[in-house]
Amino acid sequence: MCRVLVTGCYKLPGSPLPSWTYYTCWARLIGSKTKGFGQVKLKDMSRLAVVSGLVVGLVLAVAGNVQALELRTGYPLRYTIVKGDTLWGIAGRYLNDPWRWPVLWQLNEQISNPHRIYPGDVLVMVGTSKQPQLKLLPRQTLKLSPKIHAEFRRNPIPTIPPSAIEAFLSRPQVVEKYALDKLGYVIGGIDKHLIIGKMDRFYARGLTDAKQKYYQVFRNGDVLTHPKTGEVLGYEARFLGTAKLLRFGDPAKLVLTSAAQEIGSGDRLMPVEQEIALPYYQPKAPKQQVKGYLLRILGGVREAGPYQVVILSLGRREGMQAGDVLQIQYQQGQARDPVTDRMFALPDEPSGLLMVFRTFEKVSYGLIVEAVRSIRLGDVVVTP
């Protein structure tokens, strides 16, 4: 809740009466020059009082603290969505800050759920530069009979490329200390083979559920520590492959259905579902100011670019949520003043943007969505 000065309102057509009524309002924070435009939900108009032609009240903060949208130069007035588009990519065609696309699309009640935008749909920019709106043109329907209509069924476009993150949605990768030690484990291959590869069959012990058919194979990895404080943030679980149960028992018999690398005795088996649904994300800036560091670039490299996955030193305890967008900054370190001959600190410079897509207690996974220079281990991440 915040105290705002509402300078104008009108009721949206079709809003339910007499209880909850929707109004679109222009407002600014009292004592501030910040202006906003948005939709507010009021029990009734008695919550507002008219004072000198202005409306003053306590309203939900939708319209209270919204910064003006910055449209990208040369944005398209009309755009047809094609297969392979992402919500992030489309937002980048219109906005300098793509993570703010929900603000642009929420101004238009016709696009109530942007995740339901499909290839072939047409977006049209309307409104003014101060109050821009994206309008979705009506979709084509096919009339089959006087009583039956069919709309062409397509998959909605994702927020970010699914192939970049699918592998990291079902694999834990970061676990508590000794977590893997509680799981079932590989004994060895059939005929006492020590090294197990793809489609090889092997024995395991410690499995407890006869109905569980699918497993992922892990091995203990490195310890994740905070680069400044030295705090232990988690333990990496190195993904090795996937396996399917053939016969339950002690030992159980399984087959290695995929392999990132060879597995051996002692590697751990974690139960998983056969299919993991890809979630949709709502890109947004974090609710609070945060600062963290890049701990790992997945793949064992020291530099990264767009659509590579990284591990951050920020997690749920810092308020991180899936969809949070962070700015990546390059630390330039210090330089020597040519006049005073003294060292001074250079400011951090922006390197790109990432979006958090999975959170743990003390760390998170992020996908680099934009990069203007190489992203390096140890780079700073902050609220944009």
pLDDT at 348 over 70: yes
Element (DSSP H or E) covering residue 296: strand 291-297
Say if 331 falls within a structural domain: yes
Average pLDDT along the chain: 76
User: According to the model, what pLDDT value does residue 375 have?
Assistant: 92
Q: What CATH code is carried by the domain that includes residue 330?
A: 2.40.10.410
What is the side-by-side order of every strand in the sheet holding 35-42?
35-42, 21-29, 2-11, 54-59, 49-51
Q: How confident is the model at residue 254 (pLDDT cuts 50, 70, 90)?
A: very high
Last residue of a domain, one of 208, 241, 271: 271
pTM of the entire predicted model: 0.64
157-177 per-position pLDDT tens digit: 777 777 677 667 766 678 888
Are 266 and 174 part of one and the same domain? yes
Are 174 and 118 part of one and the same domain? no
Tokens of 16: 């339910």
pLDDT at 373 over 80: yes
Are 311 and 342 part of one and the same domain? yes
User: According to the model, what pLDDT value does residue 139 have?
Assistant: 65
Say if 162 falls within a structural domain: no
200 CB-near residues (< 8 Å, 6+ apart): 189, 190, 193, 255, 256
Are 212 and 178 part of one and the same domain? yes
83-110 per-position pLDDT tens digit: 888 888 888 888 888 877 777 765 455 5
Are 336 and 358 part of one and the same domain? yes
262 CB-near residues (< 8 Å, 6+ apart): 195, 196, 197, 240
177-189 per-position pLDDT tens digit: 888 888 999 999 9
Say if 13 falls within a structural domain: yes
| Domain range for 358 | 291-382
Q: How many domains does the chain have?
A: 4
177-235 per-position pLDDT tens digit: 888 888 999 999 987 778 899 999 999 999 999 999 999 999 988 899 999 999 999 99
Say if 277 falls within a structural domain: no
User: According to the model, what pLDDT value does residue 16 have?
Assistant: 36
Say if 286 falls within a structural domain: no
Are 200 and 174 part of one and the same domain? yes
pLDDT at 149 over 70: no
Number of continuous H segments (helices) and E segments (strands) in the chain: 3, 27
Radius of gyration over alpha carbons of the chain, in Å? 26
pLDDT at 18 over 70: no
Q: Which residues pair with 40 in a beta bridge?
A: 23
Torsion of Cα atoms, 233 then 234 then 239 then 244, to 10°:
-140
Are 183 and 251 part of one and the same domain? yes
pLDDT at 278 over 80: no
Are 173 and 260 part of one and the same domain? yes
